[in-house]
Chain A
Amino acid sequence: MAPPSQSYKSPSPSQPSGKGEVSDLKLQLRQLAGSRAPGTDDSKRDLFKKVISYMTVGIDVSSLFSEMVMCSATSDIVLKKMCYLYVGNYAKGNPDLALLTINFLQKDCRDEDPMIRGLALRSLCSLRVANLVEYLVGPLGSGLKDSSGYVRMVAAVGALKLYHISAATCVDADFPSMLKSLMLHDSDSQVVANCLSALQEIWSLEASSSEEASKEREALLSKPVIYYLLNRFKDFNEWAQCLVLDLVSKYVPSDSSDIFDIMNLLEDRLQHANGAVVLATVKVFLHMTLSMTDVHQQVYERIKAPLLTLVSSGSQEQSYAVLSHLHLLVMRAPMLFSSDYKHFYCQYNEPSHVKKLKLDMLTAVANENNTYEIVTELCEYVANVDVAIARESVRAVGKIALQQYDVNAIVDRLLQFLEMEKGYVTAEALVLVKDLLRKYPQWSQDCIAVVGNISSRNVQEPKAKAALIWMLGEYCQDMNDAPYVLENLIENWDDEHSAEVRLHLLTAVLKCFLKRPPETQKALGAALAAGLSDSHQDVHDRALLYYRLLQYNVSVADRVVNPPKQAVSVFTDTQNSEIKDRIFDEFNSLSVVYQKPSYMFTDKEHRGPFEFSEETGGLSVGVESVENIAQIVDANDKDLLLGTSEEEESRGTSSDGSAYSAPAYDSASISLTSSHAQSEPVISNPSLPTYSAQTSLAIDDLLGLSLSSSTTSVPPPPPLKLNAKAVIDPGTFQRKWGQLPIALTQECSISPQGAAALNSPQVLLQHMQGQSIHCIASGGKAPNFKFFFFAQNAEASASFFLVECIINTSSSKAQIKVKADDQSTADAFWNLFQLALTRFGSP
């Protein structure tokens, strides 16, 4: 038979249209299947190649399955390999057809050539079809006893694959104990390594259900096993060494001589060409010596050079991974690296993620001796083309200044930045000068002289603008035109989009007023008027607070707004030390690169080294986390709502008890808070006692406010009261939640104390119940919680409020969706809810 494939010799197929060509291939394969003519293998090879190349570019060639299997009877090993590859790829999707392959794979498992035995066994185990596991046990069992190390090595991994398809089959066939004896006695080091990795995985997964397995898992960490592996250490290849090192890093040495023995044995691994080995060794050293402070320090000294070499010798990708680990160590013990600061100098064309790490480290290692040089270097980067890095550099200079080394020179530098005529540099520098002044008020003269020259028109970024305004308010006595600058800014109140800036503007103008009343009086009036009609809650509230303060007593206002300030001694670190310790424990893992302990970015099921998830959207790092978690939670909504009715019942009794003791008090406090939240119209409410109206008129006059006329026309809505004993059954809740439109979607912060206290959902439930807001369902684990609350309007029993509240305790943020029967009261309810939530955690 003439090989028909010869007309098809295009070396790399362009994306073929699909169907037609696949059915062509099918025909040709059929023709070849039974042929025994010489040269058949070559034609087959060409066809197989084509099939695989289609598979590689993503065309579905699964319809060729039976033809491929028919063609697989061959002695050519390359053909076999291609066939194995094909079968491995499509067997899972075609479990019925996969049965066809079992026969020839099993036959190959008994081949004379160990290479073919190994390959066949590997392919057999990679089929991953659950109903074929019975065919795996036999070949695996003989594979583990094979005379060739290659086959045993494949079989060890095969046993693990079997475990993942069907754990029971693997355990019943007694493979774990066979693996164990191989691990302890096999002469081939790769077999030992594969057994170790398989056993680690199997026993950690079994440990939760079987006590024996958890004992076995611990036995892996026992001294005899560790010593056995370490004694054979040099036989292992570099990747197996990584595996053993990882195991050793979990081993708890019995005494210090134990530690020194291990460290002596492993010391030369720090000079290994493979960075992964070096880093795994570093982890062993660091973790073993944690309890011995002196030795731990020496370890730092010892590992420093290898790590720095790794950074400078490897490719960009390797450098970055090592640098992330170095970053962690530098942050833990900056003084040990203070003489190596030059290694952290940035190079011009390094990618910005590398530069950022280096800037962090430069900032950390600054001390009395090197500050001058480091700051000089940082100033070079401020002129950098990369705007983000220029900004980071200014911030780094500021941070070093706040660490109080050589502040003198640094302040000069920062002030030079202000004069650099680059918008972003000026902006960053302004923020820093503000922080500096809070810490070193003695520098105010120098700084103010420069800051006074900056035109507020040139500052656009909200943070910088806020900083400038703060300084204008704080140092208005030293800056002649401060009131007029502020007045200008207030004139453009409506164009100012940032609430932060508006808040600062209010405060600054009041401070200025209290020091220089005649010049600022007009500006203050305009600011308060604008603030009171501001749509932003906080701005409005602050304007109102100032207004009332002034109304009450100007000197009290002065004491509240302009108290003598104490210099800030230490700005709190953004990342707490507990988190840093967690990351350190997870040295040589992704946590280090992300600078977060793994619980913050992996779901629980991913945290173990071995479990994967099939679902998408399971992982989350940083910004994406909120969204993702919301998705997950949404997906679980149904279960959550249905599953909580029992809980609800059990909690019902306790809520009855509390309602019995304090219902009156509750509703009183609620009505108080609600009237506060509704307070805008109260200022000019005619029903208020006359003295308040009079003083308010007087101060209105002084400040030129015309609130009375503008607001009396709006009748105040009655304050909202909530029913302390509201009840709703889960079914109704679910129905309402489905029917009602979302009245409000809001985000608010909860207090840090609250976030800290929120270690289980129950804590918040009790707190909210005290505010007559009840919970119907809750769930989640730190740091993400989800709650469904409801409340009932005390005056209108048919009017319920339903709330979905997602809280992330690590960012102290809550996302809230409110639905209400009566939409008009939704805002009032939101005020109550927000108040209740923000109070959570405060004493």
Chain B
Amino acid sequence: MLQCIFLISDSGEVILEKQLTGHKVDRSICGWFWEQSISQGDSLPPVITSPTHYLFKVVREGITFLACTQAEMPPLMAIEFLSRVADVLTDYLDALNEDLIKDNFVIVYELLDEMIDNGFPLTTEPNILKDMIAPPNIVSKVLSAVTGTSSNVSNILPGATGSSVPWRTTDLKHSSNEVYVDLVEEMDATISREGRLVKCETYGEVQVNSYLSGVPDLTLSFANPSVLSDVRFHPCVRFRPWESHQILSFVPPDGLFKLMSYRVKMLKNVPVYVKPQLSSDNGVCRINVMVGIRNDPGKTMDSISVHFQLPSCVASAEMNSNHGTVNILANKTCSWSIGRIPKDKAPSMTGTLVLDTGMERLHVFPTFQVGFKIMGIALSGLQIDKLETKNLPSNPYKGFRALTRAGVFEVRS
């Protein structure tokens, strides 16, 4: 039972206001919220209480989606809904920023109108929404310029609302039938100062990009589904085949969507090592960080980077590296971008930190955040076995890819 939704820009200006019930929420609440947001910064929880309302906030690309209510309700529902609003807007506008929203605010209002009524979410399925409200894409802009009719509202009601596959419009036609399946994994790891793997887990998604005509029925199977610790599915996935044979059977939505997300825990190996060494005396701290490949994954590792926050007691810092570039930013973060690891040498970064006067030794040790990207492999070991298609006039083109990135990959010192 949300009462009102506000969109607030990154300077605290109200971009848009959508009242949902008869109990109008005064927009002065945004002022209150913004004060809190400035004084507490990142530590402001997503669910807070103002003197008059409970507020839920979701921040995407600098835009704050703020929802207000006075009644008890499931907080996750509000947050999920706001996230969907953000997703749908991003989808419609191709990006999300203040100017785009302002330029298209009529569409945003129209969308909100169909997504929520009287404070209760109706539908957030992009396919259904697109049937009702056409996105402001180039085609429709050109069309309107040529024909002079610029209505972006289709005059037919979506046929799918009552159908058994609400995520898919029934009569789709593509000249080329293609379907792409991507495994995208993020590796989260924490490594202690002794180099011990404190925790390591991989979160992955199966992303499908489908351009298929009619109502195709797909079956995706894995070579080793047993590595998965836990899975979550898009509503199109049928539960029983997974339950009995770990097979994903589904009628796909059109375009890009997240078919499944999964978690793989208890991984024993990470593809990269980062060894920081710190020693300090007489108010100076010497720092040395070495980076290299460990347990070679067999594919090229790319975009390797190391970031860390200089402790607040550091007065000045000087950092150098034998490979890549080192930058110290104004907010006292040091970032070292390495790129690929060269064949002939092990990259290392060295430097000295001068501590505030009166400090002998460093008490707060920085945590190093590591970034990398490996194309062509899912580090969890998950492998796609095959993708079968039914209900299609011709055999479609199928493409498979895999990618692993560093998620929250931390090395302590």
Contact = CB atoms under 8 A, between A and B. Distances in A.
Contacts of A92: 22, 24
B102 A239 contact: no
Given A190-B122, A243-B120, A612-B23, A317 B230 contact: no
Given A235-B164, A272-B233, A306-B230, A11 B103 contact: yes
Interface in B360-385: 363-365, 367, 369
B106 interface: yes
B132 interface: yes
B126 to A, nearest CB: 13
Contacts of A272: 232-233, 235
A347 B410 contact: yes
Interface stretch (B51-59, B279-287, B318-326, B345-353): B51-59
A630 interface: no
Interface in A485-530: none
Nearest to A151: B157
Given A114-B157, A150-B157, A312 B46 contact: no
Given A272-B233, A609-B71, A619-B70, A161 B263 contact: no
Residue from A153, A310, A353, A598 with most neighbouring chain B CB atoms (10 Å): A353
Contacts of A589: 72-75
Contact of A56 (B17, B22, B120, B311): B17
Contacts of A190: 122-123, 161
Contact of A619 (B3, B49, B82, B150): B49
A419 to B, nearest CB: 11
B16 A161 contact: no
Interface stretch (B174-182, B198-206, B297-305, B391-399): B198-206
A305 interface: yes
Nearest to B107: A78
Contacts of B232: 271-273, 278, 306, 309-310, 313
Given A280-B74, A591-B72, A239 B161 contact: no
Given A12-B99, A385-B309, A276 B47 contact: no
B213 interface: no
Contact of B122 (A56, A77, A239): A239
Contacts of B132: 115
B83 to A, nearest CB: 6
Interface stretch (B88-96, B109-117, B219-227, B336-344): B109-117
Interface residues of A, number: 120
A45 to B, nearest CB: 8
Interface in A289-318: 305-306, 308-310, 312-318
A53 B150 contact: no
B366 to A, nearest CB: 8
**A interface secondary structure, majority:** helix
Contacts of B404: none
A322 B155 CA distance: 40
Contact of A276 (B76, B125, B150, B203): B76
Contact of B117 (A122, A165, A275, A598): A122
Nearest to B24: A92
Give chain B's interface residue range (CB within 8 Å of chain A): 35 or more
Contact of B49 (A85, A278, A601, A612): A601
A119 B113 CA distance: 9
Nearest to A149: B162
B317 interface: no
Interface stretch (A171-179, A329-337, A376-384, A435-443): A376-384
A314 B22 CA distance: 32
B198 to A, nearest CB: 7
A89 B38 CA distance: 30
A78 B152 contact: yes
Given A271-B239, A276-B76, A608 B71 contact: yes
Contacts of B157: 114-115, 148, 150
A764 B71 CA distance: 33
B155 A113 contact: yes
B130 interface: no
B21 interface: yes
Nearest to A15: B13
Interface string B382-413: 00000000000000000000000000101010
Interface string B108-148: 01100100011011111100000010000000000000000
A242 to B, nearest CB: 6
B80 interface: yes
A312 B188 contact: yes
A154 B76 contact: no
A81 interface: yes
A598 B74 CA distance: 12
A58 interface: yes
Given A148-B157, A612-B23, A237 B123 contact: yes
A384 B365 CA distance: 8
A154 B205 CA distance: 36
Contact of A271 (B76, B122, B231): B231
A52 interface: yes
Given A348-B369, A608-B71, A317 B57 contact: yes
A273 B105 contact: no
A385 B70 contact: no
Given A308-B263, A377-B198, A610 B71 contact: yes
B162 A188 contact: yes
B1 interface: yes
A271 to B, nearest CB: 5
A57 B14 contact: yes
A83 B266 CA distance: 57
A268 interface: yes
Contacts of A157: 117-118, 120
A238 B75 contact: no
A182 to B, nearest CB: 14
A586 interface: yes
A613 B54 CA distance: 12
B20 to A, nearest CB: 9
**Which of A348, A601, A614 has the most chain B CB within a 10 Å cutoff?**
A348
A340 to B, nearest CB: 9
A404 interface: no
Contacts of A154: 117
Nearest to B361: A421
A128 B20 CA distance: 12
Nearest to B155: A113
Given A82-B106, A305-B263, A345-B198, 20 more contacts: A12-B103, A115-B132, A128-B22, A188-B161, A194-B122, A237-B123, A239-B81, A268-B243, A276-B81, A312-B203, A317-B56, A317-B83, A592-B75, A593-B45, A594-B49, A609-B73, A611-B71, A616-B52, A618-B52, A619-B70
In the A-B complex, the 7 residue pairs with the closest CB atoms: A268-B239, A317-B46, A239-B121, A305-B230, A12-B102, A276-B77, A348-B367
Interface of B: 1, 3, 14-17, 19, 21-24, 27, 42-47, 49-54, 56-59, 70-77, 79-83, 99, 102-103, 105-106, 109-110, 113, 117-118, 120-125, 132, 150-153, 155, 157, 161-162, 164, 166, 188, 190, 192, 198-199, 201, 203, 229-235, 239, 243, 258, 261-263, 309, 311-312, 363-365, 367, 369, 408, 410, 412
12 contacts: A78-B153, A81-B110, A322-B76, A342-B199, A347-B188, A380-B412, A420-B363, A588-B76, A590-B54, A612-B70, A617-B52, A619-B50
